[in-house]
Structure 1
Amino acid sequence: MAIIPFNKPYLTGKETAYICQAVESGKISGNGGFTKKCQAFFEKRYGFKKCLLTTSCTDALEMAAILCNIQPGDEVIVPSYTFVSSALAFIRQGAKIVFADSYFDNPNIDADKIEQLITSKTKVIVPVHYAGVACNMDKIMEIAGKYGLFVVEDAAQAIDSYYKERPLGSIGHFAAFSFHETKNVISGEGGMLVINDEQFINRAEIIWEKGTNRAEFFRGEVNKYGWVDTGSSFLPSEIVAAFLYAQLENLDEIQKKRKEIWNYYKCLISNTIENYQLPTIPYFATNNAHMFYLICPDLSFRTKLLQKFKDNEVLAVFHYLSLHKSSYYKDKHDGRELPNADKYSDCLVRLPLYYELSDKQVEYIVSLLNY
C-alpha cells in the first residue's frame, strides 16, 4: 500500500476557477467580493454577528486581544494543552498567561477549575474547542459574567460544531477560526475573527484595516479616512478568499464524508482494539470530525506505536506539548502541576483523517494498532 499521509488537502474543483475570477476582476487585495461572500456565509449560516476574514487564526486571536484592551500585567486564562497561538496573541499585548489543566477524559479546559485561577488582574478566558468538541460553555460564560471577564473562543478546529445546538464561535464575546490546510475547510493559510458583541464591531473593522476607518469610507459613512487607532494588516487577499469560498460551497459534503471516516474508525477500534482511550464527546457537544485521536497508556507505548506506523508507511502524529513546560514560558509559569495536560502531551496520537481517505486505508491503519 502507498504511503498514507496524515493530511491531504481536499479540492472541490472550483478553487482555481474562483481564483481566476478574482484575478480577472482586477481586485485581488483584501475585502473584495469573495471576502464579503465568505463573511456573509458564516453570518447567515451560524448567526455570527460580524465576521472578518484574516490571514490566520493567530491574527484573529491577536485582533481579539487588542479588542479586549489587554494591557501589560493583565492575566489571561488559557489551557496548557493547546497551540502556542492561543497564548501568544495575548502575550504580545503584555499579558501574563495563567495556564489551566484539561479534564482527565477530555483535552478541553477543565471548566470546574477555572474560577480558582481568577484574580483581580484576570481579564480574559480562552476556551479552546479541542478536536472541534465544545468546552463547557455555560459554565465558562457563567464564570465570565460573575467576574466581568471576556471570553474568546479559540475555535480553530471547530467549524460546523455545536454546543447545545448553538454554533461554536457564537457564544463568547469573540471567536477565532482557522482555515489552515489541516482543517475541515481550508484556504492554505487563513482565519476569521467573529465578533458577537456589537459594541466592538466598528473598532474591529478599524483594527482589521491597519488602524484606519477605511471600511467606513468605502461604505460612504465618512468622506475621508485616516489613522484613528492601533491595528495591522490582518486582511487576506481575494485569492485566499476565493479558494475558501469554493470550500464553503461544499461544506456539507465535506462534513458528511469526514464524519463517515471518523465513525468508521470508532466502529473498528471499539470492536477490536484494547489499550487505548477513545475520544470523549460530552453530552452537550457535537462532533465535527476534525480529528480522530487515541490516548495511549504512556509515552513509551506511543513512541513505539508511532515508529510502527512509520515503518509501515502511515504518518500518524502526536500533538501539542504542554505550554506551561515550554522553553519560552516555563520560567514564567507559577509552578502548578497540570497532570492532564502532560498526559495528553505524552500519550495522545492523531490518526490520518482527510476527505479522500478510503475504507481500505482506515482498515489498514487500524490493523497496525494491534500489538
Structure 2
Amino acid sequence: MRIPFNKPALAGRELEYIQQAVSNGHLSGNGAFTRQCQTFFEHRYGIQKALLTTSGTAALEMAALLLDLQPGDEVIIPSFTFTSTANAFVLRGARIVFADSSASHPNMAVGQVAALITRRTRAIVPVHYAGVACDMAPIMALAEHHGLVVIEDAAQAIESFYLDRPLGSIGHLAAFSFHETKNISAGEGGLLAINDPRFAARAEILWEKGTNRAAFFRGETARYQWVDVGSSFLPPELTAAYLLAQLEQLAVIQQQRLRQWNRYYAALLPLAQAGCFAVPTLPDYARHNGHIFYLICADRTQRQALIQQLAAAGILAVFHYQTLHNSTFYRAKHDGRDLPHATRYDQCLVRLPLYYELTEADQQTVIDVVRTFFA
C-alpha cells in the first residue's frame, strides 16, 4: 500500500540509545534504560510504582496474578476489546462477564456495570478505547462500595486524561502498551502501573520470576531466592532504550498525532452531519491523545465497500475488534445477553491511517477518497 495504516517512527535518539545499551554490556532487563522509563511514568503521571514489561498483555497478566483469582471468580470487561484484556484473567481461571459498549462511544457502558456485579466479582477492567477515557468516577465508586479492584486497560491511552487525571493513574492497577501501533512504541513492550501500595512489593517479585532479586541488588535483603510465583516479564534493555528515546519525543509525537486527528475531524464532520457515517464523540470529561481516528459506517457492507475503495487507491484502512462475547472461543461461556452497541462497532467501525510520519498530502488523499465514496 502506498499509504499504510500504520508506520513505526524514528522520532529521536532510538538507534543511538540501542548502541549505548550494547556498549553498556547489559542487555537483559532492569538496567539503566528500564529504570529511566519507569521513572518517567512515575514522575509524569503520578504513578506510585511502574514496572516495564515485555508487552501490554504481560502487564495485564501480572495484574491478574496480583488478584490471586480462583476458578469461578468473575471479572467485568467490555466485549469490544482485544483478546489480551480477557485472556489475562481466563488464564487464572476467572469467568468473564462482558459489558456492552455505550451508544455514543466504543467504551463500556458504565451505567450498566452495577447490574453485572455479583458476590463472585473481583475486578472491573475499563478499556480506554482510542485513548478516550471511560467515566472513571462511577467505576471507582462501584469498586469501593463492593470491595473490587479496578484495572485500567490503558494500552492506547498514554498522555490521555480523565478530567485532570492521567489515564493509568486512577485504577488500583493499569496496563500500558508500546506495541508498534501505539503513539509511543518500542516494537513490543508494556508497563504495569501500580497505584495501590498493597500490590507494590509483590508486583516486583512476580516481575522478577517470583524472586526477590530486585530487592537483593538494592541491598534490602541478604539472600536472593524464590519467594512467590512469577514469570519472565522484564523486557530487554534494547527495548527500553528504544522506548526512552520515544518518551523523550512525547510532546512532538503528540502534537503531530493530534494535528492529524483534528484535520480528519474537521474535514469529515460535514459528511457525518449529513448522515453518511458517524465520527468519534468525545465526552466532556475526556482529553484524548489522537490514537485512533475512526468512522462508524451504516453497516458491514458499506464498511467493506469503503475499505475496498480506499485499497484501490493504495490506502490501507482496517476494521478493529470483533466482539469477544460472540467469539468462537467464548460464545458458549457467555451468559447469552445481547450486546447491541458492541456488535455495531464490531460490524461498522473502520480506522483510517494515522501515524507520526503521515504527510498532510497523504492524509488529504485519504480524505478525498472518503469524500468521493460518499458522494
Alpha-carbon distance between aligned partners in 2 of 1:128 and 1:23, rounded to the nearest angstrom:
36
Alpha-carbon distance between aligned partners in 1 of 2:114 and 2:310, rounded to the nearest angstrom:
41
Q: CA deviation at 1:13?
A: 3.5
1:152 matches 2:151: yes
Letter in 1 for 2:306: L
**Cα pair 2:12 2:246 within 8 Å, conserved:** no
Letter in 2 for 1:223: A
Alpha-carbon distance between aligned partners in 1 of 2:157 and 2:270, rounded to the nearest angstrom:
28
Task: Name the structure 2 match of 1:301.
Answer: 302
TM-score of the two chains, using structure 1 as the length reference: 0.99
1:95 matches 2:94: yes
Letter in 1 for 2:149: F
Letter in 2 for 1:160: E
Alpha-carbon distance between aligned partners in 2 of 1:200 and 1:306, rounded to the nearest angstrom:
45
Letter in 1 for 2:144: G
1:369 matches 2:342: no
Counterpart secondary structure, 2:92: coil
Q: What is the CA RMSD across the aligned residues, in angstroms?
A: 0.8
Q: How does 1:192-211 map to 2 (within 5 A)?
A: 192-211=191-210
Task: Name the structure 2 match of 1:312.
Answer: 313
Stretches of 4+ moved more than 4 A in 1? none
1:335 matches 2:350: no
Letter in 2 for 1:243: Y
Q: Deviations over 1:200-232 (max 9, x none)?
A: 111000000000010110110101111110110
Counterpart secondary structure, 2:367: helix
1:220 matches 2:235: no
Alpha-carbon distance between aligned partners in 1 of 2:357 and 2:169, rounded to the nearest angstrom:
30
Q: How does 1:181-192 map to 2 (within 5 A)?
A: 181-192=180-191
Task: Name the structure 2 match of 1:121.
Answer: 120
1:52 matches 2:51: yes
Q: CA deviation at 1:361?
A: 1.3
**Cα pair 2:12 2:249 within 8 Å, conserved:** no
Counterpart secondary structure, 2:123: strand
Alpha-carbon distance between aligned partners in 1 of 2:345 and 2:271, rounded to the nearest angstrom:
23
Alpha-carbon distance between aligned partners in 1 of 2:363 and 2:161, rounded to the nearest angstrom:
26
Counterpart secondary structure, 2:192: strand
Alpha-carbon distance between aligned partners in 1 of 2:9 and 2:292, rounded to the nearest angstrom:
15
Task: Name the structure 2 match of 1:169.
Answer: 168
Alpha-carbon distance between aligned partners in 1 of 2:40 and 2:283, rounded to the nearest angstrom:
28
Q: CA deviation at 1:16?
A: 1.1
Counterpart secondary structure, 1:331: helix
**Cα pair 2:97 2:334 within 8 Å, conserved:** yes
Q: How does 1:6-85 map to 2 (within 5 A)?
A: 6-85=5-84
Alpha-carbon distance between aligned partners in 2 of 1:255 and 1:174, rounded to the nearest angstrom:
24
Task: Name the structure 1 match of 2:291.
Answer: 290
Q: CA deviation at 1:271?
A: 3.2
Q: CA deviation at 1:272?
A: 4.7
**Cα pair 2:99 2:339 within 8 Å, conserved:** yes
Counterpart secondary structure, 2:266: helix
Alpha-carbon distance between aligned partners in 1 of 2:338 and 2:244, rounded to the nearest angstrom:
44
Alpha-carbon distance between aligned partners in 2 of 1:23 and 1:202, rounded to the nearest angstrom:
30
Alpha-carbon distance between aligned partners in 2 of 1:264 and 1:360, rounded to the nearest angstrom:
12
Q: CA deviation at 1:366?
A: 1.1
Alpha-carbon distance between aligned partners in 2 of 1:124 and 1:78, rounded to the nearest angstrom:
9
Alpha-carbon distance between aligned partners in 1 of 2:285 and 2:12, rounded to the nearest angstrom:
35
Alpha-carbon distance between aligned partners in 1 of 2:160 and 2:22, rounded to the nearest angstrom:
33
Q: CA deviation at 1:84?
A: 0.3
Alpha-carbon distance between aligned partners in 1 of 2:269 and 2:304, rounded to the nearest angstrom:
22
Identity over aligned pairs, percent: 58
Q: Deviations over 1:84-104 (max 9, x none)?
A: 000000000000000000001
TM-score of the two chains, using structure 2 as the length reference: 0.98
Letter in 2 for 1:255: Q
Alpha-carbon distance between aligned partners in 2 of 1:35 and 1:287, rounded to the nearest angstrom:
26
Q: CA deviation at 1:70?
A: 1.1
Alpha-carbon distance between aligned partners in 2 of 1:151 and 1:142, rounded to the nearest angstrom:
10
Task: Name the structure 2 match of 1:359.
Answer: 360
Counterpart secondary structure, 1:40: helix
Letter in 1 for 2:36: K
Alpha-carbon distance between aligned partners in 2 of 1:99 and 1:287, rounded to the nearest angstrom:
24
Q: CA deviation at 1:163?
A: 0.2
Letter in 2 for 1:341: A
Alpha-carbon distance between aligned partners in 1 of 2:140 and 2:42, rounded to the nearest angstrom:
22
Q: CA deviation at 1:287?
A: 1.5
Letter in 2 for 1:310: A
